[in-house]
A = this chain, B = another copy of it.
Amino acid sequence: MRIAILGGTGEQGPGLALRWAQAGEEVIIGSRQKEKGEKVAIELNQELGKELLRGTDNVTAAAAAEVVVLTVPYSAHVSTLESVKEQLQGKIFVDVSVPLDPENARRVIMPSAGSAAEEAQQVLGSEVKVVGALQNVSAHVLRDINAVIDCDVLVCGSDKDARATVMQLIERLGIHAIDVGPLEAARQIEPITALLIRLNIRHKVHSAGIRLTGLPKR
């Protein structure tokens, strides 16, 4: 599947790009500046020892992909969404954003829409299949491509087929994906990131994650 990772040069983007490329997906790194996207793609290809990734600007990346993943810091959330709104129509959009308090990342300040994912749906309109996922995965663990990812990923979104597609893409990364239902579940999922940052700081690690227990085995 052709996946664009917007803000792919930031914290979570490169880890996702490398892991999906290694799993055989076609990945396009998007950045605000085309040159930066290209540069990061070259660096990541060097790390892989193969030319699996390409980089460009966010708009070109979004236009070319079937599934578009957003990993920008929350301060760039709405502006990035607006810049690619046209290119996302009819597609699956995966929002990894968390509205962390810029003054204290141990907290969230939830937007008036209820969550970052619901805000994305408002900005993008009803024809975009917005899915919230991957917010709670340690960027640090994700980036170390030899590290095993010891956590689950909660997936929410109002289009059932879009949820299923994203869950499959997550399973391709070797991560167990859990269906949480409608997009408004992002209201409970996004704050968990602040909790994990709090635990990372307190316990002096970069790897805190969650697993769900007590659910039926698949």
Contacts and interface: CB of A to CB of B under 8 A. Distances in A.
Interface of A: 106-108, 138, 141, 150-151, 154, 178-181, 184-185, 187-189, 191-192, 194-195, 198-199, 202-205, 207-216
Number of copies: 2
Contacts of A151: 213-214
Given A205-B215, A209-B213, 4 more contacts: A181-B198, A192-B195, A205-B216, A207-B215
A contact face: mostly helix, strand, loop, or mixed? mixed
Given A187-B191, A195-B185, A199-B178, A211 B211 contact: yes
Contact of A185 (B138, B180, B198, B204): B198
A209 B181 CA distance: 17
A52 B192 CA distance: 38
A124 to B, nearest CB: 23
Contacts of A184: 107
Contact of A214 (B185, B208, B213): B208
A188 B187 contact: no
A214 B180 contact: no
20 contacts: A106-B185, A107-B188, A108-B188, A138-B214, A151-B213, A178-B199, A180-B199, A185-B198, A189-B195, A203-B216, A205-B214, A205-B215, A208-B212, A208-B213, A209-B212, A209-B213, A210-B210, A210-B213, A211-B211, A211-B213
Most central of A209, A210, A213, A216 by chain B CB within 10 Å: A213
